[in-house]
Structure 1
Amino acid sequence: MIRLFVPNDLKAGAEIALGSDQARYMTLVMRQAVGDAALLFNGHDGEWRGIVVEASKKACRLRLEQRTREQAAPPDLDLVVALVKRARLETIVEKAAELGARRVRLVITRRTQADHTNVARLAAIATEAAEQTGRLDVPEIVAPEKLDRMLASWDPARRLMFCDEAGDDPEAEWGGEAGRARPALEVLAEGEGSSWAILIGPEGGFAPEERAALRAAPFVAPVTLGPRILRADTAAISALTLWQAARGDWREAP
């Protein structure tokens, strides 16, 4: 059944007039007519079954019948990702929504290849992914922020899993066994707290001073994702998958 994210409050008997883009999608693309059903959600009222009561080329209106699912909180997981090339960043946002991230925070590092992005487009991609995957909320897309500024304002109660592509080398610039990053699953298995974030760096990796600042922060857990160097999109998908398997809602019955 078609699922749509809407900004409206949802309750039994309410009539929801879709925006122009959604109306065209329902009537022209999906060929929905009066009497057809769709599922609507808004991120806080659960999921509702609605019946089309008006369908034209320019308008579509649904009347809500009943709630099909109660609202459930998503895993308390943020994805922090350095700006990368547009296609890869869009893939990362799409997969983050599919894999249950609550928020995607965009960060600018010394080696990022761009200093801006189309946040509205990324939000639209996240919305479409949420509609297709059955989640009851849409991840927030946070505008780009410099890494040092983000770290300065970080909530220390939220653990930051720092995916360090050079972290398995004890002779790297931080030096010695004390600086060795540990396997992600090992860290997640013994990590405390329910609020987490995952940090994925730029295609050129983190600068030495950035890595040093991250490793000095008490809330940061440096991890390695294995023996291979991964592209940013692959690393994001892998890290999200590991977190969900170890600490997220993959451990819960559907």
Structure 2
Amino acid sequence: MRANYKMQRLYVTDDLKQGSRADTGPEAVNYLANVLRMKDGDEILVFNGRDGEWRAALRFESKKKLYLEPIELTRKQPVTPDLIYCFAPLKQGRLDYLVQKAVEMGAGILQPVITQHTQVARIGIERIESNAIEAAEQCGVLAIPTTREPLKLEKLLDDWDPARRLIFCDEGHDTHNPLSLLQSLPKTPLGVLIGPEGGFSDQERQKLRSLPFVTAIPLGQRILRADTAAVAALALIQATIGDW
């Protein structure tokens, strides 16, 4: 069964199965009824990150209240991606973009990391979760990544499972070609670490390079913004040693 990208997709929190009903919030009702002008009996695709994707009918109880009636399973729930995506938070607009692209490219866990050069003082976990859901709705993803509470880089590294390879993008790397480095890595669970706008400090880079489970890769000779570097790194890793 393949995704039908022509149908509207909506994330819900209720269980999805034959004979059940999934309630929607007022924002979803307004969007479906007033923006898309959908009527009672019209169908959309719904998912909750647990029960796969379902074709569901809109059932209006009033002009401002409706529920969704699951009709048919269109896609089974896939295994949640095992990639841990660690990133230094950016300002809101660029962080939104970074999170959306991470979801599209197979991140299973979103882990904010506080580094010495991180400039964002307050991290909105709910906003990250909302952007992850929106990205999943738009691009056909069924598994919603888990968003973890922020950790300082030192704590992240101290608690890291050494059986999981951590790849970090090192702007100070002495080569410009990451492919040979990635292709030489053994097949193990992966994590990716993207630094802040100002890059990692010398102390942080030395710490990372000293750890046996860490692999540093370059992203070429161009200087990339942090959100651009995030997309470039995920594309390289997924295409070379990822789950594609």
TM-score, normalization: structure 2? Answer: 0.92
Is 1:79 the counterpart of 2:85 in the alignment?
A: yes
Task: Give secondary structure in 1 for the equivalent of 2:69.
Answer: strand
Q: Which runs of 5+ in 2 are unaligned?
A: 1-6
**Counterparts of 1:147 and 1:191 in 2: how far apart (Å)?**
23
> What residue in structure 1 maps to residue 144 of structure 2?
138
Task: Give secondary structure in 2 for the equivalent of 1:71.
Answer: coil
Output the aligned Cα RMSD. 1.6
Question: Structure 1's 41 and 149: CA in aligned 2 closer, same or farther, altered over 3 A?
Answer: same
Q: Deviations over 1:58-101 (max 9, x none)?
A: 21211111100111124321211112222211110111112221
Q: CA deviation at 1:136?
A: 0.7
- 1:48-87 correspondence to structure 2 within 5 Å: 48-54=54-60, 56-87=62-93
Question: Structure 1's 75 and 187: CA in aligned 2 closer, same or farther, altered over 3 A?
Answer: farther
Is 1:215 the counterpart of 2:209 in the alignment?
A: yes
| Aligned pairs, number | 238
Runs of 4+ in 1 over 3 A off after TM superposition: none
Is 1:229 the counterpart of 2:223 in the alignment?
A: yes
The answer to whether the 8 A contact 1:27-1:56 is kept is no
> What residue in structure 1 maps to residue 45 of structure 2?
39
Q: CA deviation at 1:55?
A: 5.7
> What residue in structure 2 maps to residue 91 of structure 1?
97
Question: Structure 1's 57 and 118: CA in aligned 2 closer, same or farther, altered over 3 A?
Answer: farther
Q: Which runs of 5+ in 1 are unaligned?
A: 169-180
Question: What is the identity, as a one-letter code, of the residue corresponding to 1:42?
Answer: N
Question: What is the identity, as a one-letter code, of the residue corresponding to 2:122?
Answer: H
Q: CA deviation at 1:184?
A: 2.6
Question: Structure 1's 74 and 187: CA in aligned 2 closer, same or farther, altered over 3 A?
Answer: farther
The answer to whether the 8 A contact 1:11-1:64 is kept is yes
Q: CA deviation at 1:56?
A: 3.9
Question: Structure 1's 165 and 151: CA in aligned 2 closer, same or farther, altered over 3 A?
Answer: same
2:32 to 19, 26, 33: 26
2:132 to 126, 137, 148: 126
Q: Quick one: percent identity of the two aligned structures?
A: 46
The answer to whether the 8 A contact 1:71-1:136 is kept is yes
> What residue in structure 2 maps to residue 152 of structure 1?
158
> What residue in structure 1 maps to residue 15 of structure 2?
9
The answer to whether the 8 A contact 2:14-2:23 is kept is no
The answer to whether the 8 A contact 2:163-2:213 is kept is yes
Question: What is the identity, as a one-letter code, of the residue corresponding to 2:162?
Answer: P
**Counterparts of 1:102 and 1:194 in 2: how far apart (Å)?**
15
**Counterparts of 1:56 and 1:158 in 2: how far apart (Å)?**
51
Q: CA deviation at 1:162?
A: 0.9
**Counterparts of 2:68 and 2:37 in 1: how far apart (Å)?**
15
Task: Give secondary structure in 2 for the equivalent of 1:245.
Answer: helix
> What residue in structure 2 maps to residue 238 of structure 1?
232
